[in-house]
Structure 1
Amino acid sequence: MEIGSYIKLHRIKQEMTQAELAEGIVSFAYLSKIENGKTEASPEVISLLCTRLGIQLDNEKDITIKNKCQEWYSQLFEVNDKDEIERGYNELEALMEDTHSESMVMFEIHKIRYFLILGQYEAALTQINSLADLSSTFDSLHQFYWYKFKGNYNSQVGEFNQAMRMYKLAEEKLNHLELAESEIADLQYTISVTHSKLRNTLDSIEYANKALDVFQRNYNFLRCAQCHILLGISYRRLMMYEKAIKNYNLALHLGKLNNNRQLIQLTNQNLGNLYSTKGEAKQAIQYFGKIVDDDKVILVERLAAIACLIREYYNVEQYDKAKGIIEKGLSLMKDLDDIEPFRLLYYMIYTYHFALGDDHEKFENLVINEFIPYLKKHKDYANLVTYAELMGQHYERLYRYKDATKFYKQANLAYEQFTNI
């Protein structure tokens, strides 16, 4: 990392203005040139600036930092224990606090990924904003991760079109870099996921197969399983159910070989979705039910299974069972610090909660004023069909046929949009 960029980064982190740092050492304008790499300052000036910032130049310590950074980055790349990742982060923060390191910028960029892994979305956004001014000084490798992790953030908050734009910018950087094929495959997998979210089914299949080819060569069976799940989702959407089930079963087999409960239950969730799509509620309920009481599964997966299970019980008119599952969902959501990443599941569970509680006012207000606008904003036409139709049925039962017709039309329009994706 250029010393000027390093000084700028530390100055920003310490919330110090250029005038405050430059006072008595150099002019404000000269410091600006140093920070932006437009001039090469003397060692004496650099030393004075670093002293004011409370940092030192230590090549031997920098080698240690570089090695520890590589170890920590690999922990973020694969699935690892969060406590271990936090320990690595805290150690690196302490090491870099007062030492100039070539790894500083890359570490700061990887913090975005770190905060996302911990579910700290506001911290991730703050980190993105804090690096924005510095991004013009990034080299191609920095830019690759900068775009990739910004895409990760956009994806986490449901901005999939923006996420795709970032991933494509990262992909363009591959022409100027020599990265390990596993890194490239990870980006290809991520692009496949985003295409899947955007319902670009054929593109999702293309990128999933590219990633799968690499993961198979590297005997990375967990990542292979993730690709098989993506392929299963794509083939389900194309109504190629046999191919979908074959890929899900491959994922399930690999999940069991690795004793990976998250992967097993993710596959069960998708098998439940497949049988729900086919209208085979009994089998869908069986798969969703395997996940609901598994407290080892991450919260978002449990809530997704709960929401789907409620829908299945509601559709087959097993209302008492639906109410029982709703209570589990409400109990789990009670302790959420940030509802935003769970917004869709929150709306799904509360929609049925109000519907089955005959609380017409709350049901109508939630679905009409919040849920349906949310689905339209995110272009989630599949769910829009379901919940616009649910409103139509609601008004039909109340003999409000004009209102019912309005929502049935919305459902039909959403279905047309969905089938045209």
Structure 2
Amino acid sequence: MKINIGQIIKLYRYKQNMTQSELAEGICSVSHLSKIENGSKEANQDTINLLLERLGISQETLSQKARHLLSLLDEFQMNMYFYALDQAEQNAEMIIQHEEQFFSLDLGIQYHLSLFQFYLLTEKQPLALKTHRVLKKFEKTFIETEKEIFEYLDGIHQIKNGQLEEGLKKLESCFSYASVEQSDLYYHYAKALGNMGHLGDALEATHQAMDLYRQKNNFKRIIHCTLIHGVISLELKAFQTAKKYLKEVILHTSLHPDAYIKMTAYFYYGVLLKREGDFSSAVPYLLDSLNYFNQEQIEDRYCETLYEIATLYAEYDRKKALPYIHELLKQPRIQPNCLYMIKIYKLMIEENPHDLKTYLAEAAIPYFEHNQLHSEYLFALRTLLSYAASELDERAYMSYTGKLLDHLASYVPYYKKA
């Protein structure tokens, strides 16, 4: 391990409130010491030993400190792998206190890579972005293993920021890297595939991740994989299978506390009940998850849950829908497709047929069609059809019916493939 001896000397001199003159007296010139501290001049070993002796440290002490710092990073990595977030939080606080020492012992890149992984794991996006910027500055100095780990973490970072295709490509390139933990790689790969709608491939990757986690008795990540199974089954409309997996997650998170995963399972279980038409049973699950995501300031999940509750009440109890709609419209991170849908519901509830028809025809339907949002497009067309029928507008009714039939016909090959 390379030790930045100049930075070590400078660090310990600062800690002891010594001037360069005081430290250098009788050993070397002040200008010589300044060059050693800044790394612009290599000193002979005798000079280094005398400087270290005056500071009360030795080469052996530095080696021990390096081993200690590496053990802190190892423990940090282990707690992150086994998703022991409370312990990982304590690890993070401790290593941050030793930041200067990490850099002086040439462990700065490992320090920042570990923190970057932690911030991604705990959804601390502003801190993740800040650490990512620091790592990008040092990217040209990375050794091979650091390049591989950064590429893997950068892929996760891109996926979390909505750059799904770019992030997925980076993860795919990491399967040949020995330095990247394969179980975690398959796990994040499965989540990305699921988000992109490649549900079959996502299931296969989830199986791979779960098998690898079982080999290492990583129970929490096994629960996380079970949650992915439940979510994919829900998207495939295999509701009974989804119920089985989601109930399993809720049970296991009661035995092995994990509030985020439990509330995420609550959210999807509420969505499942909503899709089955059991609105009254869905509400408690969605409200519990909404309160948790709001309290923990998990903005994306909070928006998703607000949307599900608002659209549920729009169908089930319209008077209760408006407060959730207004709250959702304040959120800066609302997805565009959700924004269009929620504005439609708002105009329907306010019983403003003229503005609703204009918004559907001129804004929502073109957007849904352009972005190939099948179910939203059908919903918008059917809403227009119902208004055309109620107003006995035969021309508009025939026009919208034609569009509806054309759209359904274009999706027949898609459904046959599925």
TM-score, normalization: structure 1? Answer: 0.68
Offset of 1:139 from its aligned partner?
Answer: 3.7
For residue 90 of structure 1, what is the amino acid of its counterpart?
I
Cα offsets for 1:112-155 (capped at 9, x unmatched): 33444565546644644554465455344323321221111111
**Aligned counterpart, 1:326:** 325
Contact 2:227 2:249 survives alignment (8 Å): yes
Residue number among 239, 249, 252 corresponding to 2:247 in the alignment: 249
Q: Residue 85 of structure 2 aligns to a residue in which SS?
A: coil
Q: Does 1:167 align with 2:171?
A: yes
Contact 1:189 1:208 survives alignment (8 Å): yes
Q: Residue 158 of structure 1 aligns to a residue in which SS?
A: coil
Contact 2:360 2:380 survives alignment (8 Å): no
Contact 1:268 1:291 survives alignment (8 Å): yes
For residue 162 of structure 2, what is the amino acid of its counterpart?
G
Instruction: Spell out the pairing of 1:220-231 with structure 2 (5 A cutoff).
Output: 220-231=218-229
How many residues are treated as equivalent by the alignment? 364
Offset of 1:111 from its aligned partner?
Answer: 3.9
Of the structure 1 ranges 115-124 and 198-207, higher mean CA displacement relative to structure 2 is found in 115-124
Contact 1:391 1:407 survives alignment (8 Å): no
Runs (5+) with no aligned partner, structure 2: 8-30, 33-38, 49-58
**Aligned counterpart, 2:191:** 193
**Aligned counterpart, 1:311:** 311
Q: Residue 259 of structure 1 aligns to a residue in which SS?
A: coil
Residue number among 66, 81, 96 corresponding to 2:102 in the alignment: 96
For residue 345 of structure 2, what is the amino acid of its counterpart?
Y
For residue 108 of structure 1, what is the amino acid of its counterpart?
H
Contact 1:232 1:245 survives alignment (8 Å): yes
Contact 1:385 1:414 survives alignment (8 Å): no
> In structure 2, what is the Cα distance between the partners aligned to 1:69 and 1:406?
63
Contact 1:113 1:152 survives alignment (8 Å): no
> In structure 2, what is the Cα distance between the partners aligned to 1:376 and 1:84?
49
Offset of 1:159 from its aligned partner?
Answer: 1.4
User: Whose Rg is larger?
Assistant: 2
User: Would the alpha carbon gap of residues 121 and 250 (structure 1) be closer, same or farther in structure 2, given more than 3 Å must change?
Assistant: closer
Of the structure 1 ranges 163-172 and 111-120, higher mean CA displacement relative to structure 2 is found in 111-120
Sequence identity percentage: 15
Cα offsets for 1:198-233 (capped at 9, x unmatched): 121121111211222233344433222211111122
User: Would the alpha carbon gap of residues 212 and 346 (structure 1) be closer, same or farther in structure 2, given more than 3 Å must change?
Assistant: same
Offset of 1:173 from its aligned partner?
Answer: 0.8
For residue 143 of structure 1, what is the amino acid of its counterpart?
K
For residue 201 of structure 1, what is the amino acid of its counterpart?
L
Contact 1:386 1:411 survives alignment (8 Å): no
Instruction: Spell out the pairing of 1:42-191 with structure 2 (5 A cutoff).
Output: 43-44=42-43, 58-77=62-81, 78-81=83-86, 84=90, 87-88=93-94, 90-96=96-102, 99-101=104-106, 103-117=107-121, 119=123, 121=125, 124-125=128-129, 127-132=131-136, 134-135=138-139, 137-174=141-178, 177=179, 183-191=181-189
For residue 95 of structure 1, what is the amino acid of its counterpart?
Q
Runs (5+) with no aligned partner, structure 1: 8-23, 26-34, 36-40, 49-56
User: Would the alpha carbon gap of residues 402 and 92 (structure 1) be closer, same or farther in structure 2, given more than 3 Å must change?
Assistant: farther
> In structure 1, what is the Cα distance between the partners aligned to 2:108 and 2:143?
13
Residue number among 349, 356, 361 corresponding to 1:356 in the alignment: 349
TM-score, normalization: structure 2? Answer: 0.69
**Aligned counterpart, 1:388:** 377
Contact 1:367 1:387 survives alignment (8 Å): no
> In structure 2, what is the Cα distance between the partners aligned to 1:290 and 1:253?
16
Offset of 1:350 from its aligned partner?
Answer: 5.2
Of the structure 1 ranges 136-145 and 249-258, higher mean CA displacement relative to structure 2 is found in 136-145
Cα offsets for 1:138-188 (capped at 9, x unmatched): 3443233212211111111111111111111222213xx4x7xxx321211
What is the Cα-based RMSD across aligned positions, in Å? Answer: 4.5
